[in-house]
Structure 1
């Protein structure tokens, strides 16, 4: 499975592509950031992120996309920019019909380090170890994107299968109820 991890941000949007499957060694395919200038209008910055993400998807052809779920911080301007970049990421992936999973920062920390309260250094060290890298990619947004991709390979695929099974069961129950009403 090839996963594109996206750590959304308006100034730096981290992107990382990981190949692998549960129980097998993972490998980094590519990592980087899509940068926008704070001098540009927000709409233009979002277009830059959209084009950048589209290019990453076109080049790497992921099977799935993992995006960090936005959570509340004290600085509302940071939340807004992150949420806007996250929305762009969701739209770009959805337009291509790719499965999308959102992971919270604590889910990523727990999946990668075994501790949902791990600090950035702990998560970074595990990303280096898991992907057998010589050093942690910089800036932190890039490393965070790899951690998201790792999380999805290890947890997201199972989650998606469970959600699909639940949805299928709910559809069966609904069909049975409807059939009983028509009798």
Structure 2
């Protein structure tokens, strides 16, 4: 499975690709940071992020796009920009017919470091080790994008199985309720 991981942001949007090699094996493919000038109009910045996502999807043909779930911060303006960047990434994936998985920062940190409260330095160190990189990815947004991709490689298949099991259980429950309703109707 090939995963395009995205750490959304307007000023710096980390974007990286990792291949799952089975089990907990992961392999580095590519990483970069999309930068937009803070003084540029918002639509132009969002377009730059969307265009970059389109290019990466076309160039690397991922199976899924993993995006950091926007979480509450004290700076509302920062949250809005992150949410808007996240939205254009999801839109680019949807246009390409790709599923999008959202992971919280604590899920990503716990997957990669074993601790949901790990700091950026710990995440970068583990990403460097796990992908056997010669140097840590810089800036932190690049390492975060790779961490998101790794997280999805490890959590995604389990989450898919859980969703399939839940859908099957819901279908069985609907079928069972319909049979009970039919039996009750026939007993009258």
Could you state the TM-score of these two structures normalised by the residue count of structure 1? 0.94
Deviating above 2 A after TM superposition, structure 1's stretches of 4 or more consecutive aligned residues are 21-25, 175-183
For 1:134 and 1:153, the matched residues in 2 are separated by: 21
Paired residues of 2:24 and 2:154 also in contact (CA < 8 A): no
Paired residues of 1:21 and 1:153 also in contact (CA < 8 A): no
Paired residues of 2:110 and 2:117 also in contact (CA < 8 A): yes
Paired residues of 2:16 and 2:145 also in contact (CA < 8 A): yes
- 1:143 lines up with 2:143 in the alignment: yes
CA distance 1:178–1:91, change in 2 (3 Å): farther
SS at match of 2:25: coil
* Aligned residue number for residue 107 of structure 2: 107
Q: CA deviation at 1:39?
A: 2.1
Count residues with an aligned counterpart. 183
Q: CA deviation at 1:23?
A: 2.2
Which stretch shows the higher mean deviation, 123-132 or 25-34?
A: 25-34
Q: CA deviation at 1:166?
A: 0.7
Q: CA deviation at 1:25?
A: 2.7
For 1:44 and 1:182, the matched residues in 2 are separated by: 58
Could you state the TM-score of these two structures normalised by the residue count of structure 2? 0.92
Q: CA deviation at 1:175?
A: 3.2
Structure 1 unaligned segments of length 5 or more: list them: none
Structure 2 unaligned segments of length 5 or more: list them: 184-188
Q: CA deviation at 1:180?
A: 4.3
Q: CA deviation at 1:168?
A: 2.2
For 1:78 and 1:39, the matched residues in 2 are separated by: 14
Query: Between Structure 1 and Structure 2, whose CA radius of gyration is higher?
Result: 2
Which stretch shows the higher mean deviation, 97-106 or 22-31?
A: 22-31
CA RMSD in angstroms comes to: 1.4
* Aligned residue number for residue 89 of structure 2: 89
Q: CA deviation at 1:97?
A: 2.1
* Aligned residue number for residue 31 of structure 1: 31
